[in-house]
Amino acid sequence: MKDFIHIRGVTKKFGDFVAVDNVDLCIEKGELFSILGGSGCGKTTLLRMLAGFETPTSGTIEIDGKDVTAQPPYERHVNMMFQSYAVFPHMSVGKNIAYGLYKEKTPRKEVVRRVDEMLELVQLTELRSRKPDQLSGGQRQRVALARALIKRPKVLLLDEPLAALDKKLRERTQFELMNIQDELGITFVVVTHDQEEAMTLSSRIAVMDRGRFQQVGTPKEIYEFPANRFVAEFIGTINTFRGRVAAVAEGGIRVYSTEAGVTLTALGKQLVEEGQEIDVAVRPEKIFISKEKPANSDDVCIEGVVDDLGYLGNRSLYRIRLESGKIVQVSSQNRRRSVTRFLEWEDKVWISWRPRSAVVLLD
Amino acid sequence: MWKKAILAAPYLWLLLFFLAPFAIVLKISLADPVFGVPPYSQTASLDNFAFLFSDKLYAVTYLRSVFMAACATLLCLALGFPMAYGIARARRNTRSLLLLLIILPFWISFLLRVYAWMGLMNNYGTINTLLLWLGVIDQPIPLMYTDFAVFVGLVYSYLPFMILPLYASLERMDLDLVEAAQDLGASRSQAFRDVTLPLARPGVIAGCLLVFIPAIGEYVIPYLLGGPESLLIGRVLFDEFFVNRDWPLASAVAVVLLLLLVVPIVLLQRYQARDQENAA
């Protein structure tokens, strides 16, 4: 598939502050792409540049083969769903949804037909003549979505689409959004600070920090093969062990870490040299926990004691204290049903993981 | 019980300070003027109203007053809207400074400020002297004692009453709404017309009423700045009361003026009620 949105060397400065710093990005047609980052990372500025509310200080933005860098928002085939939803309070649901078509001078019959279609898509047919102040938050969100979709934009931009909804509604809406995207085949670009939201929604994610992309990839790539420390720590929880590369071999690299108290083996795609200081990182759910020393000698095994534990229903969280004082987080599924605890505070345990579960992080 | 008492308070206020005085004025308007204390009879007739409608002077004066007040209101709106818009969109600290500047004139007596305008607009006042000195004119242009001077006075005095409600409604508005309209294909001016203006409507209505109602009965400004020919209803009312000492006729003038003011307010309320019905 060919690239649909092409961002080339885009920088946006506000005075001295660089909000977006020389960003390059390609988004394919029909993708559900997320830009993920904390507040102030520049993700909203980037989205606003795609919508046309901000013009880049330098660089170009191309949509469907056309340079839109200097185009005002009302000339772009791009529509946006605002974080505040920005539903017009003085117009009924139907008028809100129809607004974009009126601006296009679409014939009346056609407007009515397409508004009906949209109302059905977002399941608001019953509420078409209601005013926004008579709607719930979830309903307003769907009005905003329908209003943004009715012009059949090439790209739909969504600014924190689920942030204002409560947890249950958020989960449902998430799947609705995915279904709608699938049905219409419109390219979605979502901005969010919620990593879980980004993981479940998107075909690809760009993790952004201080105006730059730290990593662009599928949710799996980002989670399992984080490119650097920032990405690894931003997405989910991760344990890192500082160490020095002892040997680089065919099967992997061996790293001696005083924090771990043992030599760690990890598969590193990156180029590392002997003697280099690096981090070996392991996700909590990749670590096994047992009372006896595991038999498999290829695995990395470290002894420790249970510092703290928490029961979460579907899984348990453990904090294991190693001899060096380092705390390692371990998460394990509660497969067996039992009232008694498998482990108690200050129990001696072994933690282990397969070498290929570990990631090498460079500074 | 308490709830009822609290709810009754505004009605009581209205009864005591509006309806009761109005009833007295109405009663006097039906009486005949006599010499003595009080200077009206205890009879009741519609003679005064008949007189008001028979003498063309009153009709003309009422119309002139409505016209002047309406023009002043529109001028205030035309000047006040961009100002209120600018203040509402200014940065937070600039905003409070600008608002302070709008309110600042209230710290000086209204009468003094009108006198200041007399000093400015005199034949040998600041404006004429400056223009003469610059050589733009050879002779002072008569500014004082004209309708122009009355407009200047009205617009100057009532502009803050237009700006403040407009500001209140514009400041509350979510800026995302304007961007949403632009995003959906509206140009800047279309977004203004479709979103900003309708959402500012309560402010426009409040501002217009706050300017129009006091302006129509304004007495001081036309008296001090207007010429003898710029007869406005406020001045007629004053003259009937204090110069002619014809309380009944003056009361009749006041009653008709009140009715004139009630009409636009009732129309407006009807319009708003219908608007809300349409929405439902």
Q: Could you give the number of structural domains in chain A?
A: 2
Quote the domain boundaries for residue B144: 59-214
Specify if B36 maps to a domain.
no
CB contact under 8 A, B184 and A84: no
Residue B176: CB atoms within 10 A of its CB come to: 17
CB A76 within 8 A of CB A62: no
Specify if B11 maps to a domain.
no
Whether residue A125 is found in the same domain as residue A45: yes
Cα torsion at B161, B166, B172, B174 (round to 10°)? -170
Q: Is the ipTM of this complex over 0.85?
A: no
Whether residue A259 is found in the same domain as residue A347: yes
Whether residue A227 is found in the same domain as residue A154: yes
Whole-angstrom distance, CA of residue A137 vs CA of residue A217: 32
Whether residue A203 is found in the same domain as residue A270: no
Candidates A29, A26, A22; CA nearest to A7 is A26
Indicate the residue among A180, A199, A233 that finishes a domain.
Answer: A233
Best probe of the A interface among B174, B184, B192, by most A CBs < 10 A, is B184
Whether residue A249 is found in the same domain as residue A342: yes
CB contact under 8 A, A51 and B183: yes
Whether residue A243 is found in the same domain as residue A103: no
Whole-angstrom distance, CA of residue B100 vs CA of residue B265: 30
DSSP assignment of B13-39 equals HHIIIIIHHHHHHHHHHTS-B-SSSSS
Mean pLDDT, all residues of chain B: 90
**Which pLDDT tens digit goes with each residue over A61-81?**
999 999 999 999 999 999 999
Specify if B161 maps to a domain.
yes
Q: Closest Cα of chain A to B205: distance in Å?
A: 16
Backbone angles phi, psi at A39, to 5 degrees: -70, 140
Best probe of the A interface among B177, B182, B183, by most A CBs < 10 A, is B183
Q: Name the residue with tokens 């929604």.
A: A201
What CATH code is carried by the domain that includes residue B100? 1.10.3720.10
Q: Closest Cα of chain A to B170: distance in Å?
A: 14
DSSP assignment of B110-178 equals HHHHHHHHHHHHSTTSHHHHHHHHHTS-SS----TTSHHHHHHHHHHHHHHHHHHHHHHHHHHS-HHHH
Whole-angstrom distance, CA of residue A195 vs CA of residue A226: 14
Whether residue A315 is found in the same domain as residue A166: no
CB A146 within 8 A of CB A95: no
**Which pLDDT tens digit goes with each residue over A270-286?**
677 888 888 899 999 99
Quote the domain boundaries for residue A21: 3-233
Indicate the residue among A193, A216, A233 that finishes a domain.
Answer: A233
Specify if B10 maps to a domain.
no
Q: Closest Cα of chain B to A85: distance in Å?
A: 8
Specify if B99 maps to a domain.
yes
Whether residue A332 is found in the same domain as residue A268: yes
CB contact under 8 A, A88 and B182: no
The predicted structure's pLDDT at residue A334: 84
**Which pLDDT tens digit goes with each residue over A128-178?**
999 999 999 999 999 999 999 999 999 999 999 988 888 888 888 888 888
CB A177 within 8 A of CB A141: no
**Contacts A–B by Cβ distance under 8 A:** 62
**Which pLDDT tens digit goes with each residue over A296-351?**
778 889 999 999 988 888 888 999 999 999 999 999 888 877 777 788 888 899 99
Q: What is Dmax (Cα atoms) for chain B?
A: 75
Q: Can you list the residues of chain B whose pLDDT is less than 70?
A: 275-280
Q: Could you give the number of structural domains in chain B?
A: 1
Q: Closest Cα of chain A to B79: distance in Å?
A: 25
The predicted structure's pLDDT at residue A269: 59
Candidates B141, B142, B157; CA nearest to B221 is B157
CB contact under 8 A, A88 and B186: no
The CB-based long-range contact list for B71-75 (8 Å cut-off, 24+ gap) reads B71/B151, B72/B151, B72/B154, B72/B155, B72/B158, B72/B211, B72/B212, B72/B215, B73/B158, B73/B162, B73/B208, B73/B211, B73/B212, B73/B215, B75/B151, B75/B155
Whether residue A127 is found in the same domain as residue A269: no
The A-side interface with B (CB below 8 A) comprises 51-53, 72-74, 78-80, 82-84, 86, 88-90, 92, 99-100, 103-104, 129, 131, 147-148, 151
Distances (CA, A) of A296 to A181, A267, A291: 46, 18, 14
What CATH code is carried by the domain that includes residue A93? 3.40.50.300
Specify if B135 maps to a domain.
yes
Which residues of A fall within a CB distance of 8 Å from B185?
74, 100, 103-104, 151
Q: Which chain B residue shows the shortest CA-CA distance from A93?
A: B279
pLDDT at A51 over 80: yes
Whole-angstrom distance, CA of residue A194 vs CA of residue A174: 12
Q: Closest Cα of chain A to B251: distance in Å?
A: 43
Candidates B153, B169, B158, B157; CA nearest to B84 is B169
Which residues of B fall within a CB distance of 8 Å from A103?
184-186, 190
Which residues of A fall within a CB distance of 8 Å from B180?
80, 82, 86, 88, 147
CB contact under 8 A, B279 and A147: no
Whether residue A267 is found in the same domain as residue A215: no
Q: Which comes out higher in pLDDT, residue A196 or A249?
A: A196
Which residues of A fall within a CB distance of 8 Å from B280?
129
The predicted structure's pLDDT at residue A102: 93
The tokens for B263 are: 């009409």
Whole-angstrom distance, CA of residue A188 vs CA of residue B185: 19
Whether residue A15 is found in the same domain as residue A149: yes
A86 SS3 class: coil
Whole-angstrom distance, CA of residue A269 vs CA of residue A273: 12
Whole-angstrom distance, CA of residue A345 vs CA of residue A349: 11
The predicted structure's pLDDT at residue A299: 85
Cα torsion at B75, B79, B84, B90 (round to 10°)? 180
Whole-angstrom distance, CA of residue A338 vs CA of residue A215: 42
Which of A53, A90, A103 is nearest residue B179 as measured by Cβ atoms? A53
Whether residue A204 is found in the same domain as residue A352: no
Query: Angle at which helices A108-121 and A93-103 pack, to 10 degrees?
Result: 130
CB contact under 8 A, B184 and A103: yes
Backbone angles phi, psi at B216, to 5 degrees: -65, -35
Q: Closest Cα of chain B to A215: distance in Å?
A: 29
DSSP B40: B
CB A289 within 8 A of CB A332: yes
Indicate the residue among A202, A233, A264 that finishes a domain.
Answer: A233
The tokens for A197 are: 């939201």
pLDDT at A264 over 90: no
The predicted structure's pLDDT at residue A356: 86
Q: Name the residue with tokens 């309320």.
A: B269
**Which pLDDT tens digit goes with each residue over B183-216?**
999 999 999 999 999 999 989 998 999 999 999 9
Candidates A271, A239, A267; CA nearest to A252 is A267
Of all residues in chain A, the percent with pLDDT exceeding 70 is 98
Specify if B123 maps to a domain.
yes
DSSP B251: H
